[in-house]
Amino acid sequence: MNLLRRRLLFVTGKGGVGKTTVAAALADLAARQGLRTLVVEMDAKGAVANALDTPPLSFTPLEVRPGLHAMAMNTEDSLREYLRVVARIPLVGRIGPLARTFDFVADAAPGVKEILAIGKVCYEVRERHYDLVVVDAEASGHIVAQIDAPRAIRELVQVGMVRDQTEWMLGILGDPAQTGLVAVTTMEEMPVTETVELVQRVRATTEVDVAAVVANRVPAQWLTATDESVLQAVSSGTGLEAVTAQLGAAARGVGAVLDAARLAATRAALAAARLQSVREQLPAV
């Protein structure tokens, strides 16, 4: 299924693999294809603004280019909006005391803080303010708790308005036609291992569909099999001596060039092997 035909995409991955860049690129591509798009930065550290080369973001969506809007998640603002829109409680100014009470409850019960963030993005999907919402989500170590928050709250609260809210959120999150998770990885050993474990954990503990795994910064395989054979031949003792003799004074530094070429070929081969391993371990993605 085309990623951009969904309504909600969570982009995650181990820190440093480029998940924010991928999230921003997906959102930008969607906007260029005519979709009214919102990209949401969950940790509000400014990475999305940097990726899009825009001013700092706030909870209020900012149109950063035609069709592309961006915002940064804020727990207090999300709580304020929930109380105003859902509970219909008018609020003026800061909600400090209420927010402190909320923080106390949130520290004691799993999923309480996460439900506000997930609820906000699900609300935007439900109200159809945008054709697509792209979430630059938490890193792979925290994303499961984030997307599983509505289920955790539903188990905690058996009746009432809060439970009712979790029901429609779960309906959106569990619908693969609407929602998907995009796991970003590089071809280093640790990110690959974490990505495979993440996909397995998401499938085992949540209803969110794993829509895609993005292999980022994969080294190009620019040497053909023939090129590698030639490289191996000229890098051998006699081969290198012959090349040096042929080039004469111009051979200075040729050893370093050959070392760099061998390193590039080795990295590309290792990345290709790890990419194949991901495909074999996650055949359904």
Predicted local distance difference test score (pLDDT) of residue 14: 93
CA proximity to 108, closest of 152, 167, 159: 152
The pLDDT tens digits along the chain (285 residues) read 589 999 999 999 999 999 999 999 999 999 999 999 999 999 888 999 999 999 999 999 999 999 999 999 987 787 777 677 765 555 545 555 545 544 544 454 555 678 888 999 999 999 999 999 999 999 988 899 999 988 888 877 766 667 788 899 999 999 999 999 999 999 999 999 999 999 999 999 999 999 999 999 988 877 777 777 767 766 666 656 665 666 555 556 666 777 787 788 888 888 888 989 889 898 877
Q: For the domain covering 3-217, report its CATH number.
A: 3.40.50.300
Predicted local distance difference test score (pLDDT) of residue 205: 93
Domain boundaries, the chain: 3-217, 225-276
Predicted local distance difference test score (pLDDT) of residue 268: 86
Length of the chain: 285
Q: What is the DSSP string of the chain?
A: --GGGSSEEEEEESTTS-HHHHHHHHHHHHHHTT--EEEEESS-SSHHHHHHT-SPP-SS-EEEETTEEEEE--HHHHHHHHHHHTS-----S--HHHHHHHHHHHHHSTTHHHHHHHHHHHHHHHTTS-SEEEEE---TTTHHHHHTHHHHHHHH--SSHHHHHHHHHHHHHT-TTTEEEEEEE-SSHHHHHHHHHHHHHHHHH----EEEEEE-SPPP----HHHHHHHHHHHSHHHHHHHHHHHGGGGTTHHHHHHHHHHHHHHHHHHHHHHHHHHHHSTT-
